[in-house]
């Protein structure tokens, strides 16, 4: 049994779904452009630099979910998929996922982006398993808070181990483990798997990959 792990934003996607969700809400007039756009850009730059405070960001990202019904949010997300997400889903990424699925590998998208935004994207890629940051819900409606540990940096390892344990698996259950990512923020998990792969990596990850002999590929 083999495990194939995929980061989502700027790895499988040619862009960042977290950033684009906020931009989509701004463009739809749901969020005030003056108040939210600069902050959204600021958080995105902090993420790319590896200095993001995940809890501060999640407060910014999840609070708008709590101000609208799930029914309304789901309608918006359908438009978001059409306008923003599908254009970011390239053939190379689809083919990579298909290759692992055809080989019978256990395929998982593991992302810091919240699972409301990413679950439909995982389904679109045909990936059956998703580990994302989970928004807290009460009676199906979002509270604006986080449920459990964010799937970010070392938190990805914690969440992945819990996901394995739910299925009676450990790292030793897999003869091979591969993780595809673009980001320096994923260095903890990349160092944990047997086959780390840098995908269109940022400068820090590219340098690390070259120093350690990791494959560097492009899905663009």
Paired tokens of 39: 């902050």
Q: Does residue 37 register a pLDDT over 90?
A: no
Burial state string for 41-54 with b = 16 or more CB within 10 A and e = fewer than 16: eebbeebbeeebeb
**Annotated catalytic residue 91:** no
- Split into its structural domains, the chain has a count of 1
> Mean pLDDT across the stretch 201-215?
97
Query: Taking the model in full, what pTM does it have?
Result: 0.94
Confidence check: pLDDT of 134 > 90: yes
The active-site residue out of 7, 16, 134, 186 is 7
Is 7 tagged catalytic? Answer: yes
Q: What is the mean pLDDT of residues 132-160?
A: 95
pLDDT-based confidence at residue 63 (cuts at 50, 70, 90): confident
- Residue 114's domain is classified under what CATH number? 3.40.50.1000
Domain residues for 172? 2-217
Instruction: Please list the alpha-helical segments (H only) found in the chain.
Output: 17-27, 33-49, 54-66, 70-80, 91-102, 115-125, 154-166, 187-190, 203-212
pLDDT at 138: 94
């Amino acid at each position: 049994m083999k495990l194939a792990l995929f980061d989502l934003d700027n790895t499988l996607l040619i862009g960042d779904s977290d950033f684009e969700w906020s931009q989509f809400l701004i463009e739809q007039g749901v969020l005030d452009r003056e108040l939210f756009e600069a902050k959204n850009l600021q958080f995105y730059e902090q993420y790319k630099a590896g200095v993001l405070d995940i809890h501060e960001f999640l407060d910014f990202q999840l609070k708008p979910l709590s101000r609208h019904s799930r029914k309304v949010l789901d309608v918006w997300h359908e438009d978001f998929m059409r306008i923003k997400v599908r254009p970011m889903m390239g053939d190379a990424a689809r083919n990579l996922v298909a290759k692992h699925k055809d080989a019978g590998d256990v395929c998982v998208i593991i992302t810091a982006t919240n699972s409301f935004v990413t679950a439909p994207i995982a389904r679109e890629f045909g990936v059956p398993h998703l580990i994302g940051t989970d928004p807290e819900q009460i009676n199906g409606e979002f509270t604006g808070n986080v449920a459990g540990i964010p799937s970010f940096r070392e938190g990805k390892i914690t969440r992945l181990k819990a996901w394995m344990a739910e299925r009676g698996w450990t790292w030793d259950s897999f003869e091979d483990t591969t993780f595809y990512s673009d980001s320096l923020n994923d260095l903890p998990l990349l160092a944990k798997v047997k086959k780390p792969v840098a995908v269109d990596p940022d400068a820090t990850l590219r340098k690390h990959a070259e120093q350690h002999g990791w494959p560097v590929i492009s899905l663009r």
